[in-house]
Amino acid sequence: MRSDEIKQGYSRAPHRSLLRATGIRNDDFDKPFIGVANSFIEIIPGHFYLNKVAEIIKEEIRAQGCVPFEFNTIGVDDGIAMGHDGMLYSLPSREIIANSIETVMNAHKLDAMIAIPNCDKIVPGMIMGALRVNVPTVFVSGGPMAAGHLEDGTPIDLATVFEGVGQYEAGEITEAQLQEIECNACPSGGSCSGMFTANSMNTLMEAMGIALPGNGTILALTKEREELFRAAARRICEIAKSENPSRFNFRNILNDKAVHNAFAVDMAMGGSSNTVLHMLAIANEAEVDFKIEDINTISKQVSHIAKISPSLTTVHMEDINRAGGVSAVMNEMNKRVNTTLQDNLTVTGESLYERIANATIKDTEIIHTIDNPYSEVGGLAILFGNLAEQGAVIKTAGIVGERRFAGKAVCFNSQDEAIAGITGGRVKAGDVVVLRYEGPKGGPGMQEMLSPTSLIMGMGLGESVALITDGRFSGATRGLSIGHVSPEAAEGGLIALVEDGDEIFIDVDTYTIELRVSEEEIARRRAGFAPIVKPLTSRWLRQYRALVTNASRGAVLEAD
């Protein structure tokens, strides 16, 4: 066992002495030591109850003859951090989480790990850390929140609240109606109930085979979820006590096939555009040769068969669970000729194909068949052109209005400027909002632009206004919203040279985004260009800005 390095032999007497102080007994030194990586934090709705989840998991680990050691990571709630400078810390928190997993697991030579994430950057951060440690690891998330409901029964969620602010600004709803939405949209603990970033990543963990079936869809705070926690704990102990636990080392499961499958399922379910950012970072950590342009190749091979809020506001994760779950989605995907899903080992010991073989769709209104897809191509696309030479991301599943758009640029150099400009009436039908200096370096930290996009939707401009940014979006964003523009403004990307009134052309079906300005004019502008560098008092954010790469590379840190 890897943990023998801290617990076996006479020279490890000091180590054992310290371990005894934590309650370890003589007979525990011959058992596998299991790290229980918990992301419990009281301010995040999907995490405030994870301390109790960890107790359930540790109880089960002890019952299986292993020794659990719980430790915690930090967490940032994107919804609470959004709309102010707290959001600068969201994406950087992913790196702290990955570093903390690596630090604790390797410093103490633990044999295996069970990871308990749920929301936002916490899921990919834990995955990246697990890849560095490369011991047997099972992921089990806290679970999705139930959808909220208005008094008339209308299902709502967090996206409804953000868009409600825009509706209130436009005078379409009253303060009392906004208050009703606010008080009912998030009715319980769990990751926000739509296919936003958290639930997208929790779903993709099933596709990657690193979590058990049901991880993405079984509701939080239910008996069914508790059984999933116990099953995950039993499984990590089975692996740790087996004759060949290294067969399930994390990189043996999260490999090139798993990355491919994650993107394929993301396409079929119309996941958050943030999954592109995080899966590129995960692929980089796994040393998988995957490029952003490969996403369009996968998209062409995948039918979009499940629409979930915000793309379809009446459908939430509990509905997907009732309709057969992610396994049913994957089994239906596998019926398409030349399917893009690849068979691969999963943490349960079965292959992915074996896992999904008997899964069936129980409600074809919720999960469509491949004969009746929402689209013959996937729900995400990467656009290229002079405005995004290294790519830009759009959630095609969330488009309202036309997929081909030409309009005049209205430029803003920060999210705050954009919010003020949109609410102040600067943006009209036919415009393209250009929101820059919010990328990984420029922000820094690549803020989510849910407030501007929700204002556009709430003010009735969703079908007639496009938005492009070097920042990113919440999974709750919908509309013709294009993010992750690379190169970003802070590194001299063309988005920094756009001026008010310039014509921008977008064609989602040909993967095109172009600034229609002559090469001579672009050269003239570039000759006098100097990027805006925002002043920072935070030492951590200054370190992050110095090391981070752009979104086309997953915004990973490069120290070499």
pLDDT at 313: 78
- Domains parsed from the chain with CATH numbers: 31-145+189-292 (3.40.50), 148-184 (no CATH), 381-553 (3.50.30.80)
Report the pLDDT averaged over residues 302-327.
Answer: 93
Please, where are the H alpha helices in 220-377?
223-241, 250-253, 256-269, 274-285, 294-299, 317-322, 325-333, 352-356
pLDDT of residue 437 exceeding 70: yes
* Two structure tokens written together for 410: 């209205």
pLDDT at 476: 61
pLDDT, tens digit (0-9, with 9 covering 90-100), for 450-493: 788 888 888 888 889 999 999 998 766 677 899 999 999 999 99
**Relative orientation angle of helices 158-169 and 450-458, to the nearest 10 degrees:** 60
48 vs 271: which has the higher pLDDT: 48
Segment among 292-306, 447-461, 493-507, 512-526 with least mean pLDDT: 447-461
CB–CB of 192/158 below 8 Å?
Answer: yes
pLDDT of residue 252 exceeding 80: yes
CA distance 456 to 460: 7
pLDDT at 453: 85
Q: Which helix (H) or strand (E) holds 155?
A: strand 155-156
pLDDT at 475: 62
CA distance 506 to 515: 9
Starting from the edge strand earliest in sequence, which strands make up the sheet with 67-72, in order?
67-72, 33-38, 112-116, 137-139
Buried residues in 431-444 as b, exposed as e (16+ CB within 10 A)? bbbbbbbbbbbbbb
How big is the CA angle at 218 (ends 300 and 341), to the nearest 5 degrees?
25
- Which residues does the annotation mark as catalytic? 474
CA distance 393 to 191: 23
pLDDT, tens digit (0-9, with 9 covering 90-100), for 188-239: 999 999 998 999 999 999 999 999 999 999 999 999 999 999 999 999 999 9
Report the pLDDT averaged over residues 255-269.
Answer: 96
Report the pLDDT averaged over residues 385-390.
Answer: 97
Buried residues in 39-56 as b, exposed as e (16+ CB within 10 A)? bbbeebbbbebbeebbee
